[in-house]
Structure 1
Amino acid sequence: MKLFSPFKNLIYLLSLSLLLSCNDDEIIIQENENTISEPLKISGSIMVNTKFYDNQGPHEHNYTSRRVTGFTEGFESKSKFFYNTTTIDLNQSGNWSFSDGKIGTSSRDRKFGTRAARLRETGYILMAFNMENGVKTIRIRHAKYGNDNNSSWQLVASYDNGDSWITVGETVNTTSTTLNTVSFEVNEDRSVRYGVSKISGSSNRINIDNFEIVTDANGGGNNGNDNAGRDSNLTFGNPSNANTTDPNNYFLFKPEFTLSYNNENGTPNWVSWHLNADWLGSRGRCNCFQQDNSLPSNFKRIGDNEYRSSGFHRGHICPSADRTVTGQENANTFFMTNMAPQAPRNNTRPWVGLERHLRSLVNNGNEIHIIAGIIGTGGSGSRGYRENLSNGRINVPGSFWKVALILPNGTDDINRVTTNTQIIAVNIPNNQNVSSNWRQYLTSVDTIENLTGYDFFENIPDTIENIIESNISSRSSI
């Protein structure tokens, strides 16, 4: 039967709509698209200190001036369905050039969030803008796509606005389906742009995610005042290997903190944050508790009134007082994903006492990497014992724990940790009978790891980690 032209157009539009609405797994035609390009032309190389970390979570900062103070590009802001060579504007950072590269959204893409860059053949992704004040450190997450075989890639740099490129640091071999971190200590003070160039593996594909640029202004230098700058909130690793597929170990990051959310419990499992003088200012407490709508729509999004008349406080894990430079930073600590039901006397006595002690250490020239969370079920608030709130939507924990690694202000924090580095670890019962002295609840990191099943400092060499995690701080020394 012969179709009239309007029907042909309708069928074409319906087919196009179906193609665009399919998820990435279903658009097989994109994988076979004939857009393979020539490899990037490389004219030299620079050797720099390159460090490899396993299972390290994404790094993030609160940047305001992107091309001066750095950024973390997570490839979340735009779509790129095809492998063709083009330049696109990614809102988080700027324009990037892709060749034999796309932005993948498939379940087979290894990613933090919903998207990651994906490269095949000898493809590349390149910054199409310069870092005018240089770069201190570059951190990149990488993994194999799907069930593909191994591939290799290199960091590349250009000092002439992209006209020519050279390799930087060691060749990186991508052999894992887990996003791992490679860190390049470039210490560059010239105007420069960077990118990733895949150099082997043929049609085997790799994912690149959370391409992080750190400058002296945002996490590497001393800012002229002997502070360490704003470091990642997850420098020492992802304690539970939180991800975006497990609803009870769901990875969620904000500029102010990083966390693992437990959808069944309606609370975080843990929250991780960095603390130094660059996070502390004069803004007051906003007291603006708010539902966190960044969670998937099918998750429990706990409302700010679901603790009402329960006898428990909406207990901050990352404290409001640790984020006081801007009103927005303080407000973001009031997301309900940063809260758990806390006995009032736990919150206002030992818990706040430890928070104040850590800030006093910051005022004395230290920076601190903190991870805190909850464990168990059942606590006693001002109205007695409860195991859950809001008709079972929120689990009441049995205790609140915290571990804090303390360093003098500086840079390259992972490599500055020694067997003498101070760690404070506490586990405080969630009830009204707790002591006001948080030192009564000192314990070891090993004990909290045994309770939770987490690995808090996986990026520290084992010979050092094993010693500092087994120690219990003396009450008289802190």
Structure 2
Amino acid sequence: MRALRAGLTLALGAEGWLGRREDAQAAPGLLGRLPVLPVAAAADLPAVPGGPAGRGPRELAKDRLPRPAQLESRPAHPRALWVVEQLRPERLRGDGDRRACDFREDDSVRAYHRATNADYRGSGFDRGHLAAAANHRWSQKAMDDTFFLSNVAPQVPHLNQNAWNNLEKYSRSLTRSYQNVYVCTGPLFLPRTEADGKSYVKYQVIGKNHVAVPTHFFKVLILEAAGGQIELHSYVMPNAPVDEAIPLERFLVPVESIERASGLLFVPNILARAGSLKAITAGSK
């Protein structure tokens, strides 16, 4: 499993990210078995503009993010189950040029567990970023590394290029209003009730590597104000064409529904340190 080579502020779980170098010998179990996930090793990160003193990756991870024990190991999965980014205004500007980037295989993943560009060719799906390329303009290398196919999931083109893109833009805009913006993104595979009254989880797979096509995508925005107040905005969108005219707030859901579907826990980890939390759902603003 590669430590994602750019300075992306990505995490696979709380101690999972910051501990790849520092604690690798102490945590060979779950962390060593985790599926393909873009993970940044703190020692590999170049200097990041605007990084606040005293609030490094360890503090972010232990206070705000899901923990490794909450992530089920799925050793043969050719894409991330979830990624976490920290967005800051300084990181949204720079010389990173999307036109210089190419989607490529993640050679830290065993070949028979690895997604390839051929899997997507002719599938009708976009290679949808989980960690958005535009979130990492501060470094060409950072942007390049968002194009590993381990940071990608099959996404309906209309969704990827319209409503989901609008949600990504909105996430970036929040850096103007909050001291810290953390974004957790991932695929979901949700059940659907069929004519027989029973619920089933069904999804398409593409390519010879059987890359799973999510039924939905989630994005949880963890927003920290200058005074320390924490807000959660949690969204779920179907992996289907979505009318751009529908306001983003219509896709707000209780964070508990994402916790239940993804196996991650956000609220307990935040409350353990922050003491209070405001969860924003549709109609609650």
TM-score, normalised relative to structure 2: 0.72
2:88 is the counterpart of 1:276: yes
Q: 1:288 to 1:111 in 2, by over 3 A?
A: same
Contact 1:220 1:231 in 2 (8 A): no
Contact 1:402 1:425 in 2 (8 A): yes
Corresponding position of 1:448: 258
Contact 1:372 1:401 in 2 (8 A): yes
Where do 1:67-466 residues align within 5 Å? 74=21, 104=25, 112=31, 219-221=51-53, 234-235=61-62, 236-239=64-67, 241=69, 248=74, 263-264=76-77, 266-282=78-94, 283-285=96-98, 286-295=100-109, 297=110, 300-364=113-177, 366-376=179-189, 387-391=204-208, 393-408=210-225, 416=228, 418=229, 421-436=230-245, 437-461=247-271
Contact 2:49 2:91 in 1 (8 A): no
Counterpart Cα distance in 2 of 1:217 and 1:210: 15
Counterpart Cα distance in 2 of 1:377 and 1:327: 36
Contact 1:303 1:336 in 2 (8 A): yes
Q: 1:234 to 1:467 in 2, by over 3 A?
A: closer
In the TM superposition, what whole-angstrom CA distance separates every residue of 1:452-472 from its partner, at most 9, and x where no partner exists? 222124432359678545x41
Residues matched between the structures, number:
252
Corresponding position of 2:6: none
Contact 1:277 1:363 in 2 (8 A): yes
Counterpart Cα distance in 1 of 2:153 and 2:81: 9
Q: 1:358 to 1:216 in 2, by over 3 A?
A: closer
The alignment partner of 1:274 has SS state of: strand
Q: 1:307 to 1:452 in 2, by over 3 A?
A: same
Unaligned runs of 5+ residues in structure 2 are 1-12, 34-40, 192-201
Paired amino acid for 2:212? N
Choose from 12, 15, 24 the match for 1:57: 15
Contact 1:343 1:432 in 2 (8 A): yes
In the TM superposition, what whole-angstrom CA distance separates every residue of 1:317-353 from its partner, at most 9, and x where no partner exists? 1100000111100000011111001011111122111
Unaligned runs of 5+ residues in structure 1 are 1-54, 61-71, 77-102, 115-208, 223-227, 251-262, 379-384, 411-415
Q: Percent of pairs identical after alignment? A: 21
Counterpart Cα distance in 1 of 2:264 and 2:141: 31
Q: Which has the larger radius of gyration?
A: 1
**Aligned CA-pair RMSD:** 4.1
> By percentage of residues, which structure has more helix?
2
> By percentage of residues, which structure has more strand?
1
Where do 1:32-47 residues align within 5 Å? none
Corresponding position of 1:195: none
Counterpart Cα distance in 2 of 1:242 and 1:409: 29
Contact 1:312 1:341 in 2 (8 A): yes
Deviates more, 1:451-460 or 1:425-434: 451-460
Cα displacement (A) at 1:216: 11
Deviates more, 1:322-331 or 1:276-285: 276-285
Counterpart Cα distance in 2 of 1:463 and 1:438: 29
Q: 1:73 to 1:229 in 2, by over 3 A?
A: closer
The alignment partner of 1:315 has SS state of: strand
Structure scoring higher RCO (CA < 8 A, sep ≥ 6) equals: 2
